[in-house]
């Protein structure tokens, strides 16, 4: 008889895969009315929090292929959530920034994700959620290394990003 922890269905990789599929379905259901995927919303949230960034900055920060980031940003542009402009210092670099429409979409997306998070964690205590979150973070860091977050590769004017104007609605 095989050990349940090492059997196909009991192995951590299979359980994580199964959980990821279930969570993905729940998240997609929550985002259905917004017309964005979790990846697209995640990119928009980071543009909202950090200000204008290049596709390369987002790709490195999320460990997502540059082509996937480009596709996601293109969709956000078509929705009117994001616009592009040249970097104020490094003119060949293209920066993406949220529009007013994008900021409103991010606000709705945050609400939808909070509801999805509540549904996903409904059967767990707060302590279990905190522990599971920490353990999954450690698994991710064990594979990808420490999470540095999204950082701009080229600074905007001066050291801070506070001088960069936000884009208006398209």
166 occurs within a structural domain: no
Structure tokens at 65: 């292929």
106 occurs within a structural domain: yes
Going by C-beta distance under 8 Å and a sequence separation of 6 or more, which residues neighbour residue 169?
Answer: 80, 99, 100, 101
- Look up the domain containing 92 and give its range: 12-143
At 51-96, the pLDDT tens digits run 999 898 899 888 889 899 999 999 999 999 999 988 777 667 889 9
Number of domains in the chain: 1
138 occurs within a structural domain: yes
Closest CA relative to residue 101, chosen from 71, 78, 127, 74:
78
Percent of the chain with pLDDT over 90: 63
112 occurs within a structural domain: yes
119 occurs within a structural domain: yes
Look over the chain and give the mean of its residue pLDDT values, rounded to a whole number. 86
Q: Is the pLDDT of residue 168 over 60?
A: no
What number of helices (H) and strands (E) belong to the chain? 6, 2
The three-class DSSP label of residue 95 is strand
Pick 49 or 147 by higher pLDDT: 49
CATH of the domain at 35: 1.10.10.10
Pick 152 or 104 by higher pLDDT: 104
At 119-145, the pLDDT tens digits run 999 999 999 999 999 999 999 899 888
1 occurs within a structural domain: no
- Using a cut of 0.95, tell me whether the model's pTM lies above it: no
Q: What average pLDDT does this structure show over 14-42?
A: 95
Centre a 10 Å sphere on the Cβ of residue 57 and count the other Cβ atoms it contains: 21
pLDDT of 16 reads 94
151 occurs within a structural domain: no
pLDDT of 4 reads 63
The CA distance from 64 to 58, in Å, is 8
At 140-165, the pLDDT tens digits run 899 888 876 666 665 555 444 443 44
The three-state (H, E, C) secondary structure of 20-41, written as one string: HHHHHHHHHHHHHHHCCCHHHH
153 occurs within a structural domain: no
């Amino acid at each position: 008889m095989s050990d349940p922890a090492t059997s196909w269905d009991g192995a951590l990789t299979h359980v994580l895969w199964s959980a990821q599929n279930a969570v993905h379905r729940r998240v997609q259901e929550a985002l259905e009315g917004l017309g964005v995927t979790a990846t697209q919303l995640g990119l928009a949230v980071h543009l909202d929090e950090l200000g204008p960034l290049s596709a390369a900055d987002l790709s490195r920060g999320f460990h997502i292929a540059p082509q996937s980031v480009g596709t996601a940003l293109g969709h956000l542009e078509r929705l009117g959530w994001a616009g592009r402009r040249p970097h104020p210092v490094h003119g060949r670099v293209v920066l993406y920034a949220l529009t007013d429409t994008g900021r409103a979409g991010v606000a709705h997306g945050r609400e939808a994700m909070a509801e999805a998070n509540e549904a996903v964690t409904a059967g767990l205590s707060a302590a279990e959620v905190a522990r599971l979150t920490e353990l999954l973070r450690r698994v991710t860091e064990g594979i990808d290394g420490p999470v540095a977050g999204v950082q701009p590769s080229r600074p905007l004017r001066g050291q801070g990003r506070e001088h960069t104007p936000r884009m208006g609605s398209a």
